[in-house]
């Protein structure tokens, strides 16, 4: 039986320019190549990525009543994501992300939330039946916090596991953290949420301990080219990254989260799921753009066998 996931989150049209480097404040530089418009948004990326790996995925979100919104939904439909809980907002434009990608594959991103910022608890409630039937609920922070909190409440009520990817980072209420089963931040997000630096193993352990006080029992900290850390009260385990030559790191974190969620929903161990996530994140860095870079099952399993 296929794993069933629900994603509550954002849908953005990514406006991407390649550049020799990220501009300095006040600086204008010439880009390399034409502007590209690529489907993105953390929520949509994770939904698309999970569907590409074979999961049954439903998404809850908002787009504008415009051509960008239609294109984003069509792209999800092509990956067999159930989009019936994505609302067309007549009063707000579809979200936009402005992305500059440098020659090393690193990026700088500014997001205009648009319709994503109008997602409400009532919108989330419309997806309750899908949440009830899911193995895992995926949450991020590119939509209003009250919608995220309502999703966590519904998942808790129906005994559904929750994953929170706390990006973009912001202080979070203890009520939300206490309902999260797996927290997947990067290093800077871990520091912001915990109030502790994350430069050394000891600092990371202190940060995770602070998060445990808030109710987070399992933290999986992603570290880009250095892999990921699993941190619980009894375990501190490093999982190295798969070596690749990066082209564009956009959506690498979303690839990790989606792949980890699919593996956990399939009944794999948390160690296996993290390695699954590392492989997906690596593959996402080898292709340009967000959703076009998210790997399918065959590519993922091939890397895990050979990498």
Nearest-angstrom CA–CA distance, 135 and 114: 30
pTM for the whole structure: 0.94
- Which two structure tokens, joined as six digits, stand for 68? 């960008």
> What CATH number was assigned to the domain covering residues 4-11+40-94+114-306?
3.40.1190.20
User: Which strand (E) or helix (H) includes residue 231?
Assistant: strand 228-231
How far is C-alpha 114 from the chain's CA centre?
Answer: 19
The number of beta carbons lying within 10 Å of the beta carbon of residue 201 is 12
Residues 6+ apart with CB under 8 A from 187: 198, 221, 222, 223
Nearest-angstrom CA–CA distance, 248 and 283: 10
Q: Is 91 a catalytic residue?
A: no
Assess whether the previous peptide bond of 279 is cis (omega < 30° from 0). no
Of 126, 122, 123, 179, the closest CA to residue 155 belongs to 179
Find tokens 């707000």 and name the residue.
92
- Which two structure tokens, joined as six digits, stand for 95? 């979200």
Catalytic residue among 201, 245, 254, 296: 254
Of 199, 195, 197, 226, the closest CA to residue 210 belongs to 195
Q: What residues does each domain of the chain span?
A: 4-11+40-94+114-306
Looking at residue 90, what DSSP letter applies? Answer: T
**Tens place of pLDDT per residue across the chain (307 aa):** 899 999 999 999 999 999 999 999 999 999 888 899 999 999 999 999 999 999 999 999 999 999 999 999 999 999 999 999 999 999 999 999 998 988 888 888 898 999 999 999 999 999 999 999 999 999 999 999 999 999 999 999 999 999 999 999 999 999 999 999 999 999 999 999 999 999 999 999 999 999 999 999 999 999 999 999 999 999 999 999 999 888 888 889 999 999 999 999 999 999 999 999 999 999 999 998 889 999 999 999 999 988 7
């Amino acid at each position: 039986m296929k794993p069933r996931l629900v994603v509550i989150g954002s849908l953005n049209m990514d406006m991407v320019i390649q550049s020799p480097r990220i501009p300095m404040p006040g600086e204008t530089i010439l880009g390399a190549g034409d502007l590209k418009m690529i489907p993105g948004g953390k929520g949509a990326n994770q939904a698309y990525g999970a569907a590409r790996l074979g999961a049954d995925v439903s998404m809850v979100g908002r787009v504008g009543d415009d051509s960008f919104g239609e294109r984003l939904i069509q792209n999800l439909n092509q990956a067999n994501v159930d989009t019936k809980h994505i609302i067309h907002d007549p009063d707000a434009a579809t979200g936009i992300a402005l992305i500059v990608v440098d020659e090393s594959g690193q990026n700088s991103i500014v997001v205009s939330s648009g319709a994503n910022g109008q997602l409400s608890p009532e919108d989330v409630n419309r997806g309750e039946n899908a949440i009830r039937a899911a193995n895992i609920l995926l949450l991020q922070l590119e939509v209003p916090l009250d919608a995220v909190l309502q999703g966590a409440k519904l998942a808790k009520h129906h005994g559904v596991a929750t994953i929170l990817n706390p990006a973009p980072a912001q202080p979070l209420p203890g009520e939300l953290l206490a309902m999260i089963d797996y927290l997947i931040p990067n290093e800077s997000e871990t520091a912001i949420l915990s109030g502790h630096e994350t430069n050394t193993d000891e600092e990371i352990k202190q940060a995770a301990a602070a998060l445990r006080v808030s109710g987070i029992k399992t933290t999986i900290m992603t570290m880009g080219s250095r892999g990921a850390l699993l941190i619980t009260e009894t375990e501190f385990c490093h999982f190295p990254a798969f070596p690749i030559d990066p082209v564009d790191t956009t959506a690498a974190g979303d690839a990790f989260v989606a792949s980890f969620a699919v593996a956990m929903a399939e009944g794999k161990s948390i160690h296996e799921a993290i390695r699954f996530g590392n492989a997906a994140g690596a593959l996402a860095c080898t292709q340009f753009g967000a959703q076009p870079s998210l790997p399918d099952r065959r590519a993922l399993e091939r890397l895990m066998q050979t990498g």
